[in-house]
Amino acid sequence: MEKSNSPERVIIFDTTLRDGEQSPGISLDVGEKLEIAEQLARLGVDYIEAGFPIASQGDFDAVHAIASAVKGPVICGLSRTAHKDIDRCWEAIEPAEKRRIHTFIATSPTHMEHKLRMTPEQVLEEAASAVTRAREYTDDVEFSPEDASRSEFGFMCDVLQAAVDNGAGTLNIPDTVGFATPMEWAQRIKDIRERVRGDYVISTHCHNDLGLAVANSLAAVGAGARQVECTINGIGERAGNAAMEEIVMAVNTRPDIYTGIDIDIRTEELARASRIVSRLTGYPVQFNKAVVGRNAFAHESGIHQHGVLNERTTYEIMDPAAVGQGESQIVLGKHSGRAAFKDTLEKLGIDIKGDALNSAFTRFKELADRKVQLTDADLEALVVEEMGGNVDHAYELVSISAQGGSTTTPSADLEINVSGELVAISSEGDGMVDASCTAIKKATGVEGRLTDYSVMSVTGGVDALADVTLSFVSEDGLKVAGRGLSTDVVEASARAFIAALNKVAHIRTTGDDPNAIERPGHIG
């Protein structure tokens, strides 16, 4: 892909493999770094900062491997100002088609005094000399005054001027400790551009200690920054760096604000990049993370679901496909509405209408109140159970409570609607399920015996739905099956038993066999 030279083009400088890898607990081997670098190339980033070659042999090897194998982006290595660092950095990036050396030194009073133990004059000299050395290797040299947000402005600009005068083509301004605020950062970028003379690209590199890394980066773009340093998923030192996916999508989604700004990234690769980085670093992506989080395009409330099903843009400002997230997701939970319920069933191939839809929806709401999320399997099982083979419901469970344990006699108290009349009934039994079935027999007056009983969980987890199926032979020899679902096994059993007794009642009045129509797929 040919990149444009427009003055409004913002270069994406990815530092996932350098600053991102400096996150506590992350240590990537060469193969893992190569896998991420290949994905960054697929994304179309302009620069990959592949590592800090002097830091360790492993870092050197990874930068060298990436420089040798990854085509497309410019490969950059980080280096302090010492000449041996710069030489080592060059050695690592040399095999690449396009190469950059990024050298840096701190310019804030606290860093110069307590970390570098250098005077400002020494720092200025170091910066100039490092850029000169780097330029002996390549025309593409970037310089950063570390801790720029806490540096004395005049002195920092003198250092930046020395870097430009000695051949740095990019001046990267780091908010190393995430101290800046957006308006202040924009002003600093503007002031630097006014003060430092020469032909250079101004870049911004923001950390997220106050949660402002993306906001500060965007403010810098508004103030003329034409390179943004960022990482996938915002990983990086401490609270991390600015998240690439958020910056890219903010600019793409708001061209009215970022007028004319051109960022050349294949956004459909963002979600995949996020997944790869998360998998290899072991850093999970929070569910509600902007752009790449698993809930970024998921809707649970009924009002939102209804809106999105009619027209996606009612509640989405980006197309999930544009960032590689597939389609909008309707998540069924206790806040969901009838439209989303029906739509989900249709996608499962279950066509349900009228009263059947109403009663299935009522059951769904009851279950959703108890179970955080219902899976497709839960829904399918629920609808089949609720339809009960399309028989009229002579008996309906209204409420159940059961007591059991090793020191009390198991008992159950039920309320059952028997042909429109509410019957309250209690019974004891060998267990809570037996007590419930005995109570149901008493309330309905149907006698007979259970011949089969099994419980399965529809999906995994402690909140899974219990799916009870049973067979029953009535005293007049009718053989029927029943199925019941609930997050509670006793309730699921009572529901299955009542479903079976409804079939007995149905056969007795009509002579039909309702089992012939107990299938999901065409219920209506």
CB of 367 to ligand KIV, least distance (A): 50
The greatest distance separating any two alpha carbons of the chain, rounded to the nearest whole angstrom, comes to 104
Q: Which is nearer to ligand KIV, 148 or 332 (CB)?
A: 148
Residue 191, strand partner residues: none
User: Which of these ranges, 112-120, 172-180, 432-440, 490-498, lies near ligand KIV under the rule CB under 6 A?
Assistant: 172-180
Q: What, of ligand KIV, Zn ion, none, does residue 203 touch, CB below 5 to 8 Å by kind?
A: none
CA distance 244 to 269: 12
- Report the alpha-carbon distance of residue 500 to residue 513 in Å, rounded: 12
Q: Are strands 421-428 and 74-79 parallel, antiparallel or unpaired?
A: unpaired
Residue 274 C-beta: closest distance to ligand KIV, Å: 21
Rounded Cα distance, 30 and 64, in Å: 9
Chain-centre distance for alpha carbon 196: 41
Residue 229: both structure tokens together: 């340093």
- State which residue, 132 or 144, has the beta carbon closest to ligand KIV: 144
> How do strand 329-330 and strand 298-299 relate by DSSP bridges?
parallel
Q: Using CB distances below 5 to 8 A depending on partner kind, what does residue 49 bind out of Zn ion, ligand KIV, none? A: none
Q: Is 363 exposed, middle or buried (0-12, 13-18, 19+ CB in 10 A)?
A: middle
| Residue among 138, 147, 136, 141 nearest 162 (CA) | 141
Tokens of 479: 């053989």
Which CB atom, from 141 or from 230, has the smaller least distance to Zn ion? 230
Q: Given candidates 53, 77, 174, 429, which one binds ligand KIV under the rule CB under 6 A?
A: 174
**Which CB atom, from 238 or from 508, has the smaller least distance to ligand KIV?**
238
Which helix H or strand E contains 329, and what residues bound it?
strand 329-330
Give the phi and the psi of residue 320 in degrees, each rounded to 5.
Answer: -55, -30
Interface with Zn ion in residues 193-222 (CB under 5 A): none
22: number of Cβ within 10 Å:
17
Q: Does the footprint of ligand KIV cover residue 176 (CB under 6 A)?
A: yes
Decide whether 172 or 281 has the Cβ nearer to ligand KIV.
172
Nearer to ligand KIV, 51 or 429 (CB): 51
Give yes or no for a contact between 92 and 64, defined as CB atoms under 8 angstroms apart: yes
Smallest distance from ligand KIV to CB 140, Å? 16
Least distance in angstroms from the C-beta of 98 to ligand KIV: 20
Closest separation between CB of residue 227 and ligand KIV, Å? Answer: 12
- Taking alpha carbons only, the member of 435, 390, 387, 445 closest to residue 414 is 435
Q: Which of residues 357-396 bind ligand KIV (CB under 6 A)?
A: none
Report in angstroms how near the CB of residue 305 gets to Zn ion at its nearest. Answer: 41
Residue with Cβ nearer ligand KIV (207 or 371)? 207
Give the DSSP letter string of 35-79. HHHHHHHHHT-SEEEEE-TTS-HHHHHHHHHHHHH--SSEEEEEE
- Contact positions with Zn ion (CB under 5 A) in 2-61: 19
Q: Which is nearer to Zn ion, 19 or 59 (CB)?
A: 19
Distances (CA, A) of 61 to 30, 96, 104, 147, 425: 7, 13, 21, 28, 76
Q: Which does 104 bind (CB under 5 to 8 A by kind): Zn ion, ligand KIV, none?
A: ligand KIV
Residue 52 or 60: which CB sits closer to ligand KIV? 52
Candidates 13, 47, 60, 104: give the one binding ligand KIV (CB under 6 A): 104
457 in Cβ contact with 467 (< 8 Å): yes
In the complex with Zn ion, which residue's Cβ is closer, 204 or 267?
A: 204
CB of 97 to ligand KIV, least distance (A): 24
Ranges within 15-54 binding ligand KIV (CB under 6 A): 19
CB neighbours of residue 163 within 10 Å: 32
Distance CA 520, CA 74 (A): 56
Q: Which is nearer to Zn ion, 111 or 503 (CB)?
A: 111
Nearest Cα residue to 341 out of 312, 311, 299, 313:
299
Question: Between 70 and 99, how does the x/- string for binding to ligand KIV read (CB under 6 A)?
Answer: --------x---------------------
Q: Which stretch binds ligand KIV (CB under 6 A): 33-41, 67-75, 169-177, 180-188?
A: 169-177
Distance CA 158, CA 123 (A): 11
- Window 197 to 216, contacts with ligand KIV (CB under 6 A): 205, 207
Least separation in angstroms between residue 82's CB and Zn ion is 19
Per the CB < 8 A criterion, the answer to whether 106 and 140 are in contact is: no
By a kind-dependent CB cut-off of 5 to 8 A, residue 342 interacts, out of Zn ion, ligand KIV, none, with: none
- Each residue 113-152 as x (binds ligand KIV by CB under 6 A) or -, in order, gives -------------------------------x-x------
User: Applying CB under 5 A, which residues contact Zn ion?
Assistant: 19
User: Applying CB under 6 A, which residues contact ligand KIV?
Assistant: 19, 78, 104, 144, 146, 172, 174, 176, 205, 207
